[in-house]
Structure 1
Amino acid sequence: MLISRRSVLRAGLAAPAILSLPTGSFAQQKTLKISHQFPGGTLEQGDFRDRMCRKFAAEIEKRTKGELTAQVYPGSSLMKTNAQFSAIRKGALDMTLYPLSYAGGEVVETNIGLMPGLVTSYEQGAAWKTSPVGKKLSDILADKGVMIITWVWQSGGVASKQPMLSPADAKGIKIRGGSREMDMVFKAAGAATLNIPSNESYAAMQTGACDAVVTSSTSLISFHLEELAKNLTSGRGKFYWFMLEPILMSKTLFDALPKNQQDAILAVGAEMEPFGVAGAKADDDEVEKVFAKAGATVKTLDDATLDQWRKLSRETAWKDFAERNASCADLLKLAEGVA
Structure 2
Amino acid sequence: MFSATRRTLLGAIAASPLFSIPAAWAQSAAIKISHQFPGGTATEGDFRDRLCRQFAAEVEKRTKGGLKFEIYPGSSLMKTNAQFSSMRKGALDMSLVPLSYAGGEMPEVNIGLMPGLVTSYEQGYGWKNAEVGRELNRLLLEKGIVVVSWIWQAGGVASRTIPIVEPEDAKGLKIRGGSREMDLILKAAGAAVVSLPSNEIYAAMQTGAMDAALTSSTSLISFRLEEVSKSLTTGRGKAYWFMFEPLMMSKAVFDKLTKEQQAIIMAVGGEMEALARKSAQMDDSLVAAVYQKAGAKVVDLSDATVKKWQAIARTTAWKDYAERNANCANLLKLAEKTL
What is the TM-score of this pair, normalised by structure 2? 0.92
Q: Which residue of 2 aligns with 1:287?
A: 287
Q: Deviations over 1:181-202 (max 9, x none)?
A: 0001100110001100000000
User: Cα offset for 1:315?
Assistant: 0.7
For structure 1, the residue ranges without an aligned partner over 5 or more in a row are 1-25
Q: Does 1:191 align with 2:191?
A: yes
Contact map agreement 1:149 1:266 (CA 8 A) in 2: yes
Task: Output aligned runs, 1:157-168, within 5 Å.
Answer: 157-161=156-160, 162-168=162-168
Contact map agreement 2:26 2:66 (CA 8 A) in 1: no
Contact map agreement 1:170 1:191 (CA 8 A) in 2: yes
The one-letter amino acid paired with 1:34 is I
Task: Output aligned runs, 1:242-253, within 5 Å.
Answer: 242-253=242-253
User: Cα offset for 1:28?
Assistant: 4.2
Q: Which residue of 2 aligns with 1:107?
A: 106
Q: Does 1:145 align with 2:136?
A: no
Q: Which residue of 1 aligns with 2:51?
A: 52
Return the alpha-carbon distance in structure 2 between the equivalents of residues 167 and 68 of structure 1: 49
Return the alpha-carbon distance in structure 1 between the equivalents of residues 303 and 81 of structure 2: 35
Return the alpha-carbon distance in structure 1 between the equivalents of residues 71 and 111 of structure 2: 27
Q: Cα–Cα, structure 1 residues 311 and 317, in superposed 2: closer, same or farther, change >3 Å?
A: same
- The SS at the match of 1:105 is coil
Q: Deviations over 1:270-313 (max 9, x none)?
A: 00000000110010011000000000110001111111000000
Q: Which residue of 2 aligns with 1:234?
A: 234
For structure 2, the residue ranges without an aligned partner over 5 or more in a row are 1-24
Give runs of ≥4 in structure 1 deviating > 6 Å: none
Q: Which residue of 2 aligns with 1:323?
A: 323
Return the alpha-carbon distance in structure 2 between the equivalents of residues 93 and 121 of structure 1: 32
The one-letter amino acid paired with 1:287 is V
Q: Which residue of 2 aligns with 1:3?
A: none
Q: Cα–Cα, structure 1 residues 312 and 64, in superposed 2: closer, same or farther, change >3 Å?
A: same
Contact map agreement 2:114 2:182 (CA 8 A) in 1: yes
Return the alpha-carbon distance in structure 2 between the equivalents of residues 229 and 293 of structure 1: 12
Q: Which residue of 1 aligns with 2:115?
A: 116
User: Cα offset for 1:29?
Assistant: 3.6
Q: Which residue of 1 aligns with 2:95?
A: 96
Identity score, percent = 65
Return the alpha-carbon distance in structure 2 between the equivalents of residues 324 and 66 of structure 1: 45
Return the alpha-carbon distance in structure 1 between the equivalents of residues 129 and 237 of structure 2: 23
Return the alpha-carbon distance in structure 2 between the equivalents of residues 148 and 287 of structure 1: 28
Q: Deviations over 1:26-65 (max 9, x none)?
A: 9644411000000000011000000000000000100100
Contact map agreement 2:93 2:249 (CA 8 A) in 1: yes
Q: Does 1:181 align with 2:181?
A: yes
Looking at CA atoms only, which structure, 1 or 2, has the larger radius of gyration? Answer: 2
The one-letter amino acid paired with 2:30 is T
Q: Which residue of 2 aligns with 1:273?
A: 273
Q: Which residue of 2 aligns with 1:334?
A: 334
The one-letter amino acid paired with 1:128 is W
Return the alpha-carbon distance in structure 1 between the equivalents of residues 338 and 28 of structure 2: 41
Return the alpha-carbon distance in structure 2 between the equivalents of residues 125 and 308 of structure 1: 20
User: Cα offset for 1:163?
Assistant: 1.7
Q: Cα–Cα, structure 1 residues 335 and 27, in superposed 2: closer, same or farther, change >3 Å?
A: closer
Contact map agreement 1:30 1:67 (CA 8 A) in 2: no
